[in-house]
C-alpha cells in the first residue's frame, strides 16, 4: 500500500497517522456551530476522501459522537482534531486540512454554513458562500 500513498497526515504528537491512496473529493471551510465548538476556532477546513482509501497506521483515533449521525475523531493523547464522518455523506471521511501533511495542496472550494460565521471573519470573495450545506 505504501507505494500507492498519495497523502499522509499526523496529529501533533504523532500517535495518530494516516495514509490515503486517493485524490480528494472536495475541500471547504465549515462555519457551523458544531465545527466551531469541536475545533475552538472560527471555522474548520475539511478535505473529503473516500473512506476505503484511508488507513490509520499507528493508533486509531478516538471517536466522539457529537450529534446524531456524526462521528468526530481526535488523538487520545494530544487531543488534535482528526476527522469528521456524517451519515449524510456515506462512505466519506472528512479530514481537518491541517492534519494532512500536504495541506497547502487542498485549496478550499467554498464556505459552508456562513449564516453562523463569526462577524470578524472576512470571507474570500472568490469562494462560493452557502448559508447551510448545499444539499439542505
| Closest C-alpha to 70, from 38, 42, 43, 98 | 38
Cα 1 from Cα 3, distance rounded (Å): 6
Cα 135 from Cα 129, distance rounded (Å): 13
Residues with Cβ within 8 Å of residue 103, at least 6 apart in sequence: 97
CA distances, 56 to each of 18, 19, 29, 105 (Å): 4, 6, 24, 21
Cα 64 from Cα 105, distance rounded (Å): 28
pLDDT at 1: 47
Q: What is the DSSP letter of 35?
A: H
Q: What is the mean pLDDT of the chain?
A: 93
pLDDT, mean of residues 123-136 = 75
Q: What is the pTM of this model?
A: 0.90
Residue 136 has pLDDT above 70, yes or no: no
pLDDT at 115: 93
pLDDT in tens, 6-63: 999 999 999 999 999 999 999 999 999 999 999 999 999 999 999 999 999 989 999 9
Instruction: Specify whether the CB–CB gap between 2 and 19 falls below 8 A.
Output: yes
Residue 4 has pLDDT above 60, yes or no: yes
Amino acid at each position: 500500500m505504501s507505494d500507492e500513498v498519495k497523502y499522509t497526515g499526523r496529529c501533533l504528537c504523532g500517535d495518530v497517522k494516516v495514509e490515503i491512496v486517493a485524490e480528494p473529493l472536495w475541500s471547504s471551510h465549515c462555519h457551523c456551530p458544531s465545527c466551531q465548538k469541536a475545533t475552538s476556532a472560527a471555522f474548520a477546513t475539511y478535505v473529503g476522501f473516500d473512506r476505503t482509501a484511508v488507513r490509520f497506521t499507528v493508533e486509531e483515533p478516538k471517536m466522539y459522537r457529537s450529534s446524531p449521525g456524526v462521528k468526530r475523531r481526535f488523538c487520545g493523547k494530544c487531543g488534535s482534531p482528526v476527522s469528521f464522518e456524517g451519515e449524510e455523506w456515506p462512505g466519506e471521511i472528512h479530514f481537518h486540512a491541517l492534519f494532512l501533511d500536504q495541506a497547502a495542496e487542498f485549496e478550499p472550494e467554498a464556505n459552508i454554513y456562513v449564516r453562523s460565521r463569526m462577524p470578524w471573519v472576512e470571507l474570500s470573495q472568490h469562494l462560493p458562500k452557502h448559508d447551510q450545506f448545499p444539499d439542505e
